[in-house]
Amino acid sequence: MQKKILIFSYAYAPLIGGAEIAVQEITERIPDFSFDVITRRFSRKHQRSEKIVNVSVYRIGGGKLFFPFFAALKACSLNRKNKYNAVWAIMANRAGIAALIFKIFHPHTPLVLSLQEGDPIPDIKRKMGIFRPVFILLFKSARVVTAISNYLAEWGRKMGAKNVVIIPNGVDVAKFQFQRSNVKGQMSKVIVTVSRLVEKNGISDLIVAMQYLPMNYKLLIIGSGPLERVLKLQVESLKLGERVTFSLEVPHGEVPKYLHESDIFCRPSISEGFGNVFVEAMAAGLPVITTPVGGIVDFLRDKETGLFCKVNNPKSIADSVLLLEEQPALREAIIAGGLRMVRERYDWNIISNKMRGVFEKL
């Protein structure tokens, strides 16, 4: 019998981040399951309901404050017709609370909670505020809690989760892989970052690091966010306008093209739950420079699958970049190690099979 899964996700396509990409990639690879998604309707331009690949999407209005309640009501209505085998909450946020409310009225329907959070855990706890006991109930009510990293898995256990399984995010290796030439035809070298422009991603430090690098190094920043204006003013004040380019939002399907045109990927994160883009850069044949924080340490081994720089240290970022230039053999070893690792551990086909296993055991 076909399993029917109801997904609660605060955001969904066309608004996508790492969590939303994970849902899309996993559901596409389990075509014999039936998936419905309840998400927030952020714009009137977004249809109230539509089919995206093999997922039926239902968008709820009413603003963020009332989303958990309206989403739970919609779920109860859909369940009367579809009789779901399980509900799947993406992150311990408003979507998770919506799933918890549904669970209260349908206690026999298994709940799977997936932790995809990227903010520092103290910040997440602060945002929970007086509702922390409600979130603890969410963790305790979940039949299974999946976490994209050991970092988030440990948090899940501290919040009271009884059964925690680590299922990381992944990458479509075939889509991102590119046969890179050891000899480039251009004199400039491009450092690329694909990042939401928020404090936790350390983009300000990356901009400052450009001051410590030769003039032939350029920085391409792909992404948007609340710090866009501040970062552009920083570039202007440091007189780096000719070396730093902002490309703002790029559709996820076009990201491989930008990675293939670059030489190094760098995101000096202050906090990170996992970071899909790191393994995507590895699949694209780029050496990765980042910080040893959060879930990054699960997949990056210094001088084996990437290079670590220090947190909030622009000079350390520049030193790592120059090390790759000074030691071309190390650079090639890192590229090969990263690509080998994503093929063996982070291909979406591997990840989706793990998630299928979770659903089949419910």
| pLDDT, tens digit (0-9, with 9 covering 90-100), for 289-336 | 999 999 999 999 999 999 999 999 999 999 999 999 999 999 999 999
Nearest to 111 by CA among 119, 120, 125, 101: 101
Question: Do 80 and 201 fall within a single domain?
Answer: no
* Residues in the chain, pLDDT under 70: 179-186
| Six-digit token string for 217 | 């190094």
Distance CA 271, CA 120 (A): 5
Q: Which pLDDT score is estimated for 194?
A: 97
pLDDT at 182: 45
Indicate whether 216 and 79 sit together in one domain: no
- The backbone region for 239, taken as left when phi is positive above 0, alpha when psi lies in -120 to 50, beta otherwise, is left
Q: Do 86 and 231 sit in the same domain of this protein?
A: no
Same domain, 222 and 148: no
Q: Are residues 322 and 297 in the same domain?
A: yes
What domain count does the chain have? 2
Q: Which of 137, 164, 134, 138 shows the shortest CA–CA distance to 151?
A: 164
For residues 187 and 116, membership in a common domain is answered with no
Q: What is the pLDDT of residue 178?
A: 72
Query: What does the pLDDT read at residue 183?
Result: 43
Are 189 and 337 in the same domain?
yes
> Which domain does 355 fall in, by range?
4-170+347-360
Say if CB 81 and CB 239 are below 8 A apart. Answer: no
Q: Where residue 189 sits, what CATH number does that domain have?
A: 3.40.50.2000
Rounded Cα distance, 45 and 242, in Å: 37
Quote the DSSP letter at residue 44: T
